[in-house]
Amino acid sequence: MRQLAAVILSLILGSAGLWAKNGTQEASQTARQALMEMFFSKESGTFLKHLPAATRATLEKSGALASLQQYSVLAGQLQTQGKSFQTFEAGPVMLATEDPKTGQKFEIVVDNDSLRSDQDDIELSFHTYKDNQAQRTPFMPRVVFSMKMESRLWTLNEIAITINLPLADPDFLKGISDRMKASAAVASPQIHGQGMGQGPGQIPTSTLGSDASALAAVRRILTAETTYAATYPAVGYTCTLSDLDGFGASESNEHQAMLISSGLASGKHQGFNFSLSGCAGTPAASFRLTAAPVGDSYGRRAFCADQSGAIRSSADGSAATCLSSGTPVK
């Protein structure tokens, strides 16, 4: 999924009227259009323009105003790099992007739009497809953007994010089952290599996850990074896996976003080492993700990806090889 960073930033979508200065209603800018201008205009200052006055005043006092003034420009640059990228001013689908090379598609859908006088609450959900088949993503969030009229201008007043924990979802249950099996294998006395031909310090093959499980984990982290950057636009992407952790806080925040499991956030998951790097700038507009097998990596692949969403692999199990000359994963 190329340019998911730019895609999720367009969350952004709603519908409402704007009262003109003469007191009559006109359709010069809807709440949705204000949000799109806020995140996608190439003109500096449009992001701040649609923040509440109290928020702008606080940012100015804290000294963070200058960095945020550059945000709309960054978003505009990300948008121009996208391929097969469409936004819609009406209808259930508000944004769609597709990568013909990988057959991956991403959509933002408006599930509910509640306009009440000078406030418009828009509830959004996110959907991914591979070769026109819906992909199951148990931790995909739902977001409500609350736009409020302030001085005849739509401003982003509040963002509410809900993460569902689907206890009956087959993919979610399979993930739990795989982790429990891995834990049981580690607890077994046989893992120390007796009778299995293992050398000292090696990890028995029975405790290692499959390449398929590592690839699935890479995709979960990519989705989490995209959601994280959209949720905390002043930070952008994170190169700290624990920031994406799914448990331990009363509510999500930039250091515990509740997007992936604690096991995966630890960096060691089912026989693979996961690592994030390459986050540069404020907000960070890029990152690199690697997943390399531990122990005996013979016949096992390493995986790598970046903010474009494209995943590559290397047959030698080396993260460095993957980053320099990895083969695209189809």
Task: Give the pLDDT of residue 195.
Answer: 37
Q: What's the average model confidence in pLDDT over 280-297?
A: 87
Task: Give the pLDDT of residue 313.
Answer: 94
Q: What's the average model confidence in pLDDT over 91-115?
A: 81
Task: Give the pLDDT of residue 19.
Answer: 32
- The overall average pLDDT reported for the chain is 75
Task: Indicate the helix (H) or strand (E) that contains 99.
Answer: strand 93-99
Task: Give the pLDDT of residue 26.
Answer: 41
Tell me the C-alpha to C-alpha distance, in Å, between residue 308 and each of 83, 107, 109, 263, 312. 11, 16, 21, 25, 11
Per-residue pLDDT at 167 exceeds 90 = no
Tell me the C-alpha to C-alpha distance, in Å, between residue 296 and each of 195, 215, 318. 17, 18, 12
Q: What's the average model confidence in pLDDT over 314-329?
A: 93
Tell me the backbone φ, ψ of residue 191, rounded to 5 degrees.
Answer: -70, -15
Long-range contacts of residues 262-267, Cβ cutoff 8 Å, at least 24 apart: 263/179, 264/217, 264/220, 264/221, 265/241, 266/241, 266/242, 267/241
Per-residue pLDDT at 130 exceeds 50 = yes
Q: How far apart are CA 261 and CA 226, in angstroms?
A: 16
Greater confidence, 50 or 188?
Answer: 50
Task: Give the pLDDT of residue 145.
Answer: 87
Greater confidence, 1 or 127?
Answer: 127
223-267 pLDDT tens trace:
999 999 999 999 999 999 989 986 655 678 888 888 888 888 889
User: What are the sequence ranges of the domains in the chain?
Assistant: 4-162, 208-328
Q: Which of 53-62, 93-102, 318-327 has the highest mean pLDDT?
A: 318-327
Per-residue pLDDT at 128 exceeds 50 = yes
Q: Across-strand partners of 18?
A: 26
Greater confidence, 103 or 286?
Answer: 286
- With bands split at pLDDT 50, 70 and 90, how would you rate the model's confidence at 72? low
- With bands split at pLDDT 50, 70 and 90, how would you rate the model's confidence at 46? confident
Q: What angle do CA 29, 34, 35 make, to 5 degrees?
A: 150
Task: Give the pLDDT of residue 17.
Answer: 33
